[in-house]
């Protein structure tokens, strides 16, 4: 029999329904895997007692016949989601010891559907990073290594703990969040699937805020079907999030035929960068021919403002972050540092100096600068206008195609310290940021390997609310690619 931790979520559901194994056994297998893989540092907090209790409840529900759709499925929860009674830090020292008194809507929905929480997954501090090197709780190490080399590699970021745990078979699936690529880029780096739904599909309530107009939760799992299962549970209108979309949530697992007859796949010419990695360029072409084999037609499209997406993002996201992170002042929760003889203002400044890491400080300072008197229009308003042009580029493209296919990231996973310059790190998100700015659903699917034997993902971008179309194209790629490599 396949090891329990190797099963897909769909396979676990079938095995639990057939009584091939119990939820208690399934959870125990994952807790053992978690204990055996602590060197990856994927978890900030492990919650084995909670998991065991939830697994027992799942077994009871399965026996009664009233089990939820995710009963007994062991998941990791990114540490950006507030979990009632379990420390939530967003990867930051400033929230060390913070115990939420409430459950985020998204994690609450997963738990209500019967999921088992294994623990809280490590991440870049406040989701600001693409490598997990900015976590205050130590970097997450990818379970993958390059062929013939033994340097430790990054799992990507910011959902790096989620990526490492799912790839290493510690968790069946995980929650991630994506502001500019934080689900898709790590999924690509570790050879798993991940989808960022349309902005507003998943409630942001109880998710520690980074850049509110961009932040969106989504699932990460080893198969497209598993992503669809988790996404169906995570989505839904929530009156507690004013940007939550009040639209029906389909069963996303229903339409995964992989049949793309009648679909037009756009290829944005601006994504074919000068000096693009040859393996990635070839994989992109391969992906197009797979989609053609599935019945789609391929069309060239243009997204002329693509090159301005990253600089616009690095105004908008830090601006929103500088405002959102103003709440960390040492008064109501988290770290407090009071210099001897200091007053309230000294306490604010000392707390924030001690509690935030260098990248978070850098972004708060950038955000403060671009919003300050005299610079606001030149930077922030201009970035918001460019954002409108980027969204309009996509709208124009939808006149000619139904979905877009691009690479997920410009490279495979890199080694720690390889991108010490912040700008070099930011460029990692070149293919994921434009769809984030436009709020579109987008997914990464593992599609091939680099010359060094490291996973590479392809990205599908869809129209607003067309997660079903994105997932179905993902299913077509998944079938054709037959990606079976594992760390």
Partner 1 sequence: MSVDDAMVRKIARLARIAVDEAQVPALAGDLNNILGWIEQLREVDTTGIAPMTAVIPTHLDWRRDVVTDGNVQAAVLANAPDAVSGFFAVPKVIE
Nearer to partner 1, 374 or 482 (CB): 374
Give, as ranges, the residues between 200 and 229 that touch partner 1 (CB under 8 A): 200, 213
The binder of partner 1 chosen from 253, 322, 406, 459 (CB under 8 A): 322
Q: How far is the CB of 189 from partner 1 (least distance, A)?
A: 24
Q: How far is the CB of 145 from partner 1 (least distance, A)?
A: 31
Give, as ranges, the residues between 327 and 346 that touch partner 1 (CB under 8 A): 329-336, 338, 342-346
Give, as ranges, the residues between 418 and 437 that touch partner 1 (CB under 8 A): 421-423
Q: How far is the CB of 372 from partner 1 (least distance, A)?
A: 6
Q: How far is the CB of 302 from partner 1 (least distance, A)?
A: 16
Q: How far is the CB of 125 from partner 1 (least distance, A)?
A: 14
Nearer to partner 1, 21 or 369 (CB): 369
Alpha-carbon distance 470 to 227, whole Å?
Answer: 11
What angle (nearest 5°) sits at the alpha carbon of residue 449, between those of residues 141 and 5?
A: 55
| Site stretch for partner 1 (CB under 8 A), options 34-42, 59-67, 220-228, 237-245 | 237-245
DSSP secondary structure code for residue 83 in this structure: B
Residue 352 binds to partner 1 (criterion: CB under 8 A): yes
Alpha-carbon distance 462 to 413, whole Å?
Answer: 25
β 264-268/216-221 pair status = unpaired
- Least Cα distance to 214 among 119, 117, 305, 321 occurs for 321
Is there a catalytic annotation at residue 159?
A: no
The Cα-based distances of 478 to 59, 224, 286, 295 in angstroms read: 32, 7, 12, 15
Task: Evaluate whether 120 touches 175 at the Cβ level (below 8 Å).
Answer: no
The binder of partner 1 chosen from 369, 418, 449, 479 (CB under 8 A): 369
The active-site residue out of 8, 13, 78, 162 is: 78
Torsion-angle region of 82 (φ positive above 0: left; ψ -120 to 50: alpha; else: beta):
beta
Task: Evaluate whether 221 touches 193 at the Cβ level (below 8 Å).
Answer: yes
Q: How far is the CB of 142 from partner 1 (least distance, A)?
A: 27
| Site stretch for partner 1 (CB under 8 A), options 169-177, 266-274, 310-318, 479-487 | 310-318
Residues in the interface with partner 1 (CB under 8 A) total 71
**Omega before 158 within 30 of 0, i.e. cis:** yes
| Site stretch for partner 1 (CB under 8 A), options 122-130, 267-275, 278-286, 382-390 | 382-390
Number of residues that make up the chain: 487
The binder of partner 1 chosen from 305, 306, 455, 477 (CB under 8 A): 305
Is there a catalytic annotation at residue 78?
A: yes
Alpha-carbon distance 31 to 334, whole Å?
Answer: 29
Nearer to partner 1, 401 or 437 (CB): 437
Give, as ranges, the residues between 2 and 31 that touch partner 1 (CB under 8 A): none
Task: Evaluate whether 140 touches 164 at the Cβ level (below 8 Å).
Answer: yes
Tokens read off for 219: 């699932």
Question: Which H/E stretch holds residue 27?
Answer: helix 23-36
Is there a catalytic annotation at residue 372?
A: no
β-partners of residue 459 are 406, 444
Task: Evaluate whether 142 touches 121 at the Cβ level (below 8 Å).
Answer: no
The active-site residue out of 142, 158, 322, 436 is: 158
Q: Which residues are catalytic?
A: 78, 158, 182
């Amino acid at each position: 029999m396949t090891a329990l931790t190797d099963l897909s979520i769909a396979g676990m559901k079938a095995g639990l329904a057939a009584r091939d194994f119990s939820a208690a056994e399934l959870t125990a297998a994952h807790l053992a895997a978690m204990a055996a893989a602590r060197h990856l540092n994927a978890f900030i907090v492990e919650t084995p007692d909670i998991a065991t209790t939830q697994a027992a409840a799942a077994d009871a529900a399965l026996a009664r016949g009233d089990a939820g759709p995710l009963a007994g499925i062991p998941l990791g929860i990114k540490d950006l989601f507030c979990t009632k009674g379990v420390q939530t830090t967003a990867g930051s020292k400033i929230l060390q010891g913070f115990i939420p008194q409430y459950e985020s809507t998204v994690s609450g929905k997963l738990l209500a559907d019967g999921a088992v929480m294994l623990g809280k997954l490590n991440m870049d501090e406040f989701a600001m990073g693409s490598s997990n090197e900015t976590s205050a709780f130590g970097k997450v190490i990818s379970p993958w290594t390059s062929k013939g080399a033994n340097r430790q590699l990054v799992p990507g970021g910011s959902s790096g703990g989620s990526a490492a745990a799912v790839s290493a078979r510690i968790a069946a699936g995980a929650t991630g969040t994506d502001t500019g690529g934080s689900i898709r880029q790590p999924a690509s780096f570790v050879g798993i699937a991940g989808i960022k739904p349309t902005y507003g599909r998943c409630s942001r309530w109880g998710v520690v805020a980074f850049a509110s107009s961009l932040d969106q939760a989504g699932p990460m799992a080893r198969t497209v079907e598993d992503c669809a299962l988790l996404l169906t549970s995570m989505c839904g209108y929530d009156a507690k999030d004013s940007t939550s979309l009040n639209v029906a949530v389909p069963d996303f697992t229903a339409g995964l035929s992989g049949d793309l007859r009648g679909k037009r796949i756009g290829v944005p010419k601006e994504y074919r960068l000068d000096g693009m990695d040859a393996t990635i360029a070839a994989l992109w072409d391969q992906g197009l021919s797979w989609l053609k084999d599935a019945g789609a037609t391929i069309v060239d499209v243009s997204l002329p403002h693509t090159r301005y997406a990253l600089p616009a993002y690095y105004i908008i996201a830090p601006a929103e972050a500088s405002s959102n992170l103003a709440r960390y002042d040492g008064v109501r929760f988290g770290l407090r540092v009071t210099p001897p003889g200091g007053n309230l203002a000294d306490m604010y400044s000392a707390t924030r100096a001690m509690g935030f890491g260098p990248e978070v400080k850098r972004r708060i300072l950038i955000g403060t600068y671009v919003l300050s008197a005299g610079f606001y229009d030149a930077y922030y308003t201009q970035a918001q206008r460019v954002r409108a042009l980027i969204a309009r580029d996509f709208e124009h493209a939808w006149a000619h195609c139904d979905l877009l296919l691009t690479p997920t990231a410009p490279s495979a996973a890199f080694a720690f310290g390889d991108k010490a310059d912040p700008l070099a790190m930011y460029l990692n998100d070149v293919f994921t940021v434009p769809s984030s700015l436009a709020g579109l659903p987008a997914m990464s699917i593992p599609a091939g390997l680099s010359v060094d034997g490291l996973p590479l993902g392809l990205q599908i971008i869809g129209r607003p609310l067309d997660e079903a179309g994105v997932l179905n194209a993902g299913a077509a790629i998944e079938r054709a690619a037959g990606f079976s490599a594992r760390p």
